[in-house]
Amino acid sequence: MPTVHIDKVGEMAIIECAGRFVRTEAALKLRDAVTSQTDAHVVILDLTEMHALGGGGLGMLVLLQRWAQDHDIRFKLFNPSTPVRDKLNHIDFEIATLEQMMTLLSRIESPIRGSLVRGSLARIAISVASAVAVFLTAKEARPVISSQLSPVPISP
């Protein structure tokens, strides 16, 4: 069952999507999560844990991109898995880099940063570490065990 989790950080919403978004119910869950962010200036979909994206899910992303444009909201995708990225390549989506994510998070007012930002940064750091591990594994054809990855210290 696909899941959607929303982290609000200042005027930014990070929506974490996990599972297979191949059925109508999953696409509608994603729609409801994004369209509820009417007060956000930036909506980021973290696709790290999205394992599959069907035609309905892809169509919903196009609709949500248009919805965000109509509401003057920046709409970005972050860290899609290889099968999801393959589907996204056919459409012009803005895929945020780690550097862009760090810049967006650094612009948040410091009283708001606290644990929410640390939590979001930690999830982003884990997402990037996972992406690097997959890349290196594919390149060197040897498995990388997640316990071999060092935790990234995050300061407030």
Q: Tell me the whole-structure pTM to 2 decimals.
A: 0.71
Residue ranges per domain, the chain?
3-108
Q: Interior CA angle at 19 toward 16 and 21, to 5°?
A: 95
pLDDT band at 146, cuts 50/70/90? very low
Tokens of 30: 């994603």
pLDDT in tens, 76-97: 999 999 999 999 988 889 998 8
Written as six digits, the tokens of 57 are: 């899910």
Does the domain at residues 3-108 carry the CATH identifier 3.40.50.9100?
Answer: no
Tens-digit pLDDT profile for residues 8-66: 888 899 999 999 999 999 999 999 999 999 999 999 999 999 999 999 999 999 999 99
pLDDT digits (tens, 9 = 90+) for 131-141: 555 555 555 54
